[in-house]
Amino acid sequence: MDATAGWTRGVTRVAMLTGAGISTDSGVPDYRGPNGVWTRDPAAAEAFTYDRFMADPAARARFWRTYADHPAWHAVPNAAHRAVVELERSGAAVRVLTQNVDGLHQRAGLAARRVLELHGTIHEVQCTGCGARTPTARTLTRVRAGETDPRCHDCGAVLKLAVVLFGEYLDDRVLSQARQIAAASQLLLAVGSSLLVEPAASLCAVAVDAGARLVIVNRDQTPYDHLADEVLREPIGEVLPRIVAALGANRSPAPIP
């Protein structure tokens, strides 16, 4: 990337749509890459389908086993996560729209109010009956002690991580806010996302339709490459700090709603 690329000039409002690729350098596996979760074990995706999860105790048991020792619990933010924080500190108005559920943007130092978790978080468990939310650590303690299908202590209903499974809809309020942020940005950076999962991926089109520049940073082609001002195939941990350096001179932020 040329640090003087035209799309870096005059930008003070940045929205970042981040996917699994931004966290792979932290040891969190992606889903569709060469060593991705679904690539290595396509059948594992069934446990992440809402209908199957709710109907099949064996699928729930597999789901909880998967997350009991998931690398995300021990992961630390990498250079790409830190670069996002540096961009905010440079004076740009930054909002992160993340498809990730690992919480690494916040752990890197980005204020929670700057991060919109489109697909939820692994750090909370939600009861599918009464809706109560509790810290995930409590449920994982039960799983590691031998419970294969933990239930809500209050109502007895099935528990699930507070993440959006395949077959579930995104929260309407979250999606509406994400669209507002994308439309209000001057630049939308789509980083580490295959842009195959809708409606999150469509935020690229929302931004472009509203007049924003779109830059995609991803190893593989995406369905939205044709809309982008630039597509970068370089390693995320290397190119994102360079993008931040190019944008950092703009220090007159205008707020994104």
Does the pLDDT at position 231 exceed 50?
Answer: yes
The helix (run of H) or strand (run of E) holding residue 239 is helix 236-247
Residue with the bigger pLDDT between 38 and 114: it is 114
SS3 78: coil
Does the pLDDT at position 253 exceed 50?
Answer: no
Q: Are residues 65 and 188 in the same domain?
A: no
- Report strand pairing: 187-191 vs 213-217: parallel
SS3 13: strand
Q: Are residues 100 and 223 in the same domain?
A: yes
- For helices 236-247 and 79-89, the axis angle rounded to 10 degrees is 10
Q: Are residues 48 and 108 in the same domain?
A: no
Domain of residue 101: give its range. 6-28+76-119+169-247
Do you know the residue count of the chain? Answer: 257
Q: Are residues 178 and 51 in the same domain?
A: no
Question: pLDDT tens-digit profile of 137-182?
Answer: 999 999 999 999 999 999 999 999 999 998 899 999 999 999 999 9
User: Is 119 annotated in the active site?
Assistant: yes
Within a domain: 1 = no
Within a domain: 254 = no
Confirm if 81 and 105 have CB atoms less than 8 A apart: yes
Q: Which pLDDT value is given to residue 45?
A: 66
Which residues are 215's β-sheet partners? 189, 230
Q: Are residues 89 and 201 in the same domain?
A: yes
Mean pLDDT of the chain: 90
Residue spans of beta strands (DSSP E) within 10-87: 13-18
Catalytic residue among 119, 123, 153, 226: 119
Residue 184, domain CATH = 3.40.50.1220
SS3 189: strand
Q: Are residues 201 and 237 in the same domain?
A: yes
Confirm if 211 and 227 have CB atoms less than 8 A apart: no
Confirm if 229 and 214 have CB atoms less than 8 A apart: yes
Within a domain: 252 = no
What's the pTM value of the predicted model, to 2 decimals? Answer: 0.89
Q: Are residues 153 and 175 in the same domain?
A: no
Residue 51, domain CATH = 3.30.1600.10
Does the pLDDT at position 256 exceed 70?
Answer: no
CA distances from 111 to 77, 108, 182 (A): 14, 9, 18
Q: Are residues 176 and 233 in the same domain?
A: yes
Question: pLDDT tens-digit profile of 53-90?
Answer: 999 999 999 889 888 888 999 999 999 999 999 999 88
Total domains present in the chain: 2
Q: Which pLDDT value is given to residue 235?
A: 95
Does the pLDDT at position 115 exceed 90?
Answer: yes
Of 163, 178, 196, the residue at which a domain comes to its end is: 163
Q: Are residues 113 and 128 in the same domain?
A: no
List binding-site positions for Zn(2+): 127, 130, 152, 155
Mean predicted confidence (pLDDT) in 104-122: 96
Question: pLDDT tens-digit profile of 31-54?
Answer: 665 565 555 666 666 667 899 999
Q: Are residues 23 and 42 in the same domain?
A: no
Residue with the bigger pLDDT between 66 and 194: it is 194
